[in-house]
Chain A
Amino acid sequence: MIQGIGYALYEARESDPFTGRVLSGSMDDYRIPGIADTPQLDVHFDEEGFDHVPGGSVGIGEIATVPTSPAIANAVRDAIGVRLTEIPLRTDRILAAVKGRTAA
């Protein structure tokens, strides 16, 4: 879920539009959430089990990561009244959406 917060708010591979060179090449520039960006998380386990799944193999990572970003995007929509359709939900994109501008 914390990874999902990063997916929604921070993670982006930035590159130069002409050469394609990756610009966000360090952990300083490729942002992920810090501990202060992480809210209290409530984790629920499905106690019914997964014995009914053919082969018995069950994914766990994506199930928690993927829906986190639409949940945050919905919260932003609820807060500002405009729906963003691109992640990460960057400061410049939110300001542009609020002001009716086209974001970079």
Chain B
Amino acid sequence: MNAAPMQIAPEYRAAGTDLSERRRSGISSGPLIDIAGKADAAITWGTDGAATIGALTTIATIATDARIRHAYPGLAASAAGVATPQIRHLATLGGNIAQRSRCWYFRNPHIDCLKKGGGDCPARAGNHLYGVAFDLGPCVAPHPSTMAAALSAHEARISTDRRSTLTIETLLGDGRDGRSDHALEAGEMIRQVVLPVPLAGERALYKRAISRADAEWPLVELCARAVIADGSFTFVRLAAGGIAPVPLRLLASEAALAGSPADAATIAHAARLAISGARPLPMTEYKLDLLSGLVRDLLEQLAV
């Protein structure tokens, strides 16, 4: 540690569902700024039918709002998969996007790591059972935000108090840094999520591979959107979480599906392509089976 005290940027506290735990363990010890009740918590609709969701909208609202469920079924399903009813009732969209890593090493106050100003990632050589299978950067923790993966599948745009029309990829980075869970500037606050105009005939699903029936961090998760016309996929977006340091768009699978018949052969091919570019760690090869299986499972359901 430096001799001079480190300048610690204040952290925002929305619902504080995760922050409370990090305060108790000492992982978070700097100043806080409460924003609950201050920023935007409303869902507004444009004349074109597109929604803008305020950052303090709760996950439960997104999961249950009738118009969101109709226009953006994949987003609503993803929200319904998050955590527990109690957490969803309080937790906010902005907080979920800016969610900190679930890595055991990051959460342990006695262990140094990249995300706490340390020099390397102890999980890489250590125990990374729940680590990434797309090894894109020095930190091996998967990105923890379910909503960020869903928003990536929707190609949503994020506005902060300083910048607008950010993609999820710009907001969270490409995973090569490893020192942070997002690429927000110090003190920058997420304000709004702007969704695109809903597609006619879209069907969408979300599924997380977990070992308990409910209430568990995903081993791998997938938000899948598709439009099928005349027996062929005309539009597909697939975004996976739990498997890379950032939400992962499955571009090779999407490209193989677009314009192809919605049949078993196409789906099997896309499921194999889902793991294109994967670099599993010694303990995470199983996640590739889960990813491939999720792609197959959701596409089969969408193609029915």
Contacts and interface: CB of A to CB of B under 8 A. Distances in A.
A21 to B, nearest CB: 6
Contacts of B290: 91, 95
Contacts of A10: 211-212
Interface string A66-104: 000000000000000000000000111001100101011
A45 interface: no
Contacts, number: 70
A82 B211 CA distance: 19
Nearest to B213: A36
A29 B25 CA distance: 14
B255 to A, nearest CB: 27
A95 B286 contact: yes
Contact of B212 (A17, A37, A96): A37
Nearest to B293: A95
A95 B289 contact: yes
Given A91-B219, A99-B289, A21 B110 contact: yes
B207 interface: no
Of B122, B217, B289, the most chain A CB neighbours within 10 A belong to B289
A64 interface: no
Interface string A12-23: 001111110101
A99 B292 CA distance: 14
Nearest to B103: A23
B286 A33 contact: no
B129 interface: yes
Contacts of B122: 16
A24 interface: yes
B215 interface: yes
Nearest to B219: A91
Contacts of B289: 95, 99
A15 B127 contact: yes
Contacts of A28: 21, 217
Contacts of B286: 91-92, 95-96, 103
Contact of A21 (B21, B108, B283, B285): B108
A23 B105 contact: yes
A90 B289 CA distance: 14
Interface in B96-124: 104-105, 107-108, 110-111, 122
B107 A26 contact: yes
A25 B211 CA distance: 19
A28 B216 CA distance: 8
A95 B282 CA distance: 14
Contacts of A91: 209, 211, 219, 286, 290
B5 interface: no
A104 B129 contact: yes
A34 interface: yes
Contacts of A33: 212
Of A24, A92, A101, A103, the most chain B CB neighbours within 10 A belong to A92
B213 A23 contact: no
Nearest to B128: A104
A30 to B, nearest CB: 11
Contacts of B217: 28
A25 B109 CA distance: 11
Interface of B: 21, 104-105, 107-108, 110-111, 122, 125-127, 129, 209, 211-217, 219, 282-286, 289-290
Given A21-B110, A34-B212, A91-B286, 20 more contacts: A10-B211, A14-B104, A16-B111, A18-B126, A19-B111, A21-B111, A23-B105, A23-B127, A24-B104, A25-B107, A26-B21, A26-B107, A28-B21, A29-B104, A29-B107, A33-B212, A34-B215, A91-B290, A92-B283, A103-B286
User: Can you list the 6 inter-chain pairs with the closest CB atoms, starting with the nearest?
Assistant: A104-B283, A36-B213, A23-B104, A92-B286, A95-B286, A36-B214
